[in-house]
Amino acid sequence: MSVKPSDGSSEPRYRSDICYAGGGESRVDRMDPAARSRVFEMLAGRGTDSSQVPLRARFYKLARVAPGQRIVDVGCGTGVDTRALARLAAPGGSVLGVDPSGALIDEARRTTPADLGVRYERAEGEKLPAVDGAFDLAVAITTLSHVADPAPIVREMVRVVRPGGRVALFDHDMGTFVVDAADRDVTRLIFDLYTREVSGMDAGRRLAGLLKTASLGAVEVEPLPLVDMEFSSYFQWVIERYPTRAVEDGALSAEAAEAWRADVRARAAAGRFFGSVVYFAAAATKP
């Protein structure tokens, strides 16, 4: 579900999306410094969390990351995976991180050691800043869940990969979110209202189809369920942010939303937090 922007323009906006880039401008770049800092913290924390690291390691294996490769990381964000890919591609490899957000690119440059040899460039719309066949591998890691129409991005990834090279996608599917809370009806309401207004809430289930539609061969898909019992920074973000949509829509009172948050926090404090979401890794080869 999308809504019209408040400025009266006709372009639809996904109110719950964090990073949705519309009209060539990333939403992150329009945030105030405090909100932007929270996004940086969430993205960095999610990518390095102990429950995420094994999933991403499995994705790198499916993508067949190897030393000496030329890799492009599409939608690189703060560069968490870009740096990991650069270490795996050493020696002799190179990694280009691309993102439509100037603020995210600046943060990625700031937090990336110079000796890794990573380059970052800002994307202009859906066009990748590279010539045909420039890379051995193109990856998009939790990128397509921020994109209303991912097909043009996947086509660009195919364009910039050489014949025999790989295109690999990694994303979660918001329809699989699970949080253990006392009020199951409120939990269902919160996740339904929030995720229906995220541009790519169903990204995970679409990855295989996107690769097949792009005429890639030998498509592989692997489900990677994330289970969080430590109340990671990512799920803290989810618990704090997601109820706001139900409150703004008048479907849930502010008091009820805070009661739900308090219940989840209490479970976490007692060592009983449980949250889960399924990620999917998909990869294919360019003929």
% of the chain surpassing 70 pLDDT: 94
For residue 23, the model assigns a pLDDT of: 64
Under the banding of pLDDT at 50, 70 and 90, the label for residue 17 is confident
d(CA 123, CA 25): 10
Residue 103 has, within 13 A of its CA and on its CB side, a CA count of: 19
Span 207-228, mean pLDDT?
Answer: 96
Average pLDDT of the chain, as a whole number: 91
Considering 47-51, 199-203, 272-276, the range whose residues carry the highest mean pLDDT is: 272-276
> Which is more confident, 14 or 261?
261
For residue 46, the model assigns a pLDDT of: 85
**Cα 273–Cα 276–Cα 282 angle in degrees, nearest 5:** 155
Span 33-62, mean pLDDT?
Answer: 91
CATH H-level superfamily of 21-176+199-228+279-285: Vaccinia Virus protein VP39 (3.40.50.150)
For residue 9, the model assigns a pLDDT of: 38
pTM confidence score: 0.90
**pLDDT for 128-167, tens place per residue?**
999 999 999 999 999 999 888 999 999 999 999 999 999 9
**Cβ neighbours for 258, distance < 8 A, ≥ 6 positions apart:** none
Q: Where are the domains of the chain?
A: 21-176+199-228+279-285
**Cβ neighbours for 171, distance < 8 A, ≥ 6 positions apart:** 140, 141, 142, 143, 144, 145, 200, 203, 204, 207, 279, 280
Q: Are the C-beta atoms of residues 224 and 280 closer than 8 Å to each other?
A: yes
**Cα 167–Cα 173–Cα 176 angle in degrees, nearest 5:** 150
For residue 211, the model assigns a pLDDT of: 98
**Cβ neighbours for 159, distance < 8 A, ≥ 6 positions apart:** 128, 132
d(CA 101, CA 107): 10
pLDDT at residue 3 greater than cutoff 50? no
Long-range contacts of 5-10 (CB under 8 A, 24+ apart): none
Which amino acid makes up residue 73? D
For residue 42, the model assigns a pLDDT of: 86
Residue 104, SS3? helix
For residue 255, the model assigns a pLDDT of: 97
